[in-house]
Structure 1
Amino acid sequence: MKFQPKKDLLYGVILIPIGVFCITFGVLFPFTFDADIVSIIVITVLFLPLGVYSLWCWFGTSYLIYDDTFIIKQGPFRRTISIDTIEKIERNTNPLVASTALSLESYILQYKPYKHCIISPENIDIFVVELQRKRERTPINFIRD
């Protein structure tokens, strides 16, 4: 089952203009400025991937639940977590930490001993129910507050 991330306007106002600016600047720099070849290569190599990554994160983040695995897709990156290793999900009290969450309302998913990731599914209640349904052993400890 695929879950879309909850997206806050704040994150969109940051990621989308950064992505568009970096791609535009990276493409137009060689044609606009009279620069040497090294400057053109450096600017293009730095700005184009940053712009593509910003937009890919905004439009390409999702959470997938399969039979026994939970997959977080964010741009070109994937993280696979065994559902049986998930211990608890609790509300994140520090929402501005870099994470796969695109919303200030995010949750810390703790799995295995001492490992965690920060997520923000669009509908957390349905997400937790689906994870619980796929679990074979004890229920996941879900702390909303």
Structure 2
Amino acid sequence: MKFHAKKDMTFRILIWGSVLLFLGLSVGLFIPIYHEAGFAASITFSFIFGIFVIIILWLWYRTFYVVTNEHLIIHIGPFKRRVELNTIKKIEKSNVPLASVALSKERYFLYYNANDYTIIAPENIEKFVEVVNEKRKEPIRFLK
């Protein structure tokens, strides 16, 4: 089952502000740089800022979580992490502002294996935990 990432207003402003900034730089700097540095520099800077726009949008639209029979697959843009469901120890609510696959301030630490963790933020955490528990032999500890 697929769960979309929760996206709050802070991250919407941050992401779309960054997209508009880099898009503006990609287009707006082309003409002034062209006259001063030449055509190659103009194309290079426009290409670099355009790539930033593509990566940011890729992260925004391709962040989601998939629960299969044996794994939790965490997608964030071009990256993918696979966690075996049976190795998940607990899910705990957190407000720590660490960089992660969470696009919301309401985040959850997902502890797995002996000492590994990742930070997630599915839209419906209760349904997420319910689906994960259906696939496991014993339920996960969920600390709200």
Aligned partners of 1:23 and 1:52 also within 8 Å:
no
CA deviation profile, 1:107-143 (whole Å, cap 9, x unmatched): 000111111110101110000000001113x321111
CA deviation profile, 1:45-101 (whole Å, cap 9, x unmatched): 43222211111111221111111011111111111111111111001131x210110
1:2 equivalenced with 2:2 (yes/no): yes
TM-score normalised per structure 2: 0.88
Task: Give 2:72's match in structure 1, choosing from 70, 73, 78.
Answer: 70
Where does structure 2 lack aligned partners over 5 or more consecutive residues?
none
Q: Percent identity?
A: 34
Distance 1:80 1:37 in 2: 44
**Aligned equivalent of 1:119:** 120
Distance 1:87 1:102 in 2: 23
SS at match of 1:26: helix
TM-score normalised per structure 1: 0.88
* Aligned CA-pair RMSD: 1.7
Superposed displacement of residue 25, structure 1: 2.2
More displaced, 31-40 or 76-85? Answer: 31-40
**Aligned equivalent of 2:25:** 25
Amino acid at match of 1:106: R
Superposition misfits of 4+ residues, deviation over 3 angstroms: none
Amino acid at match of 2:5: P
CA deviation profile, 1:15-61 (whole Å, cap 9, x unmatched): 11212321342245334532335533542343222211111111221
Amino acid at match of 2:124: N
Q: May I ask how many residue pairs the two structures share in their alignment?
A: 142
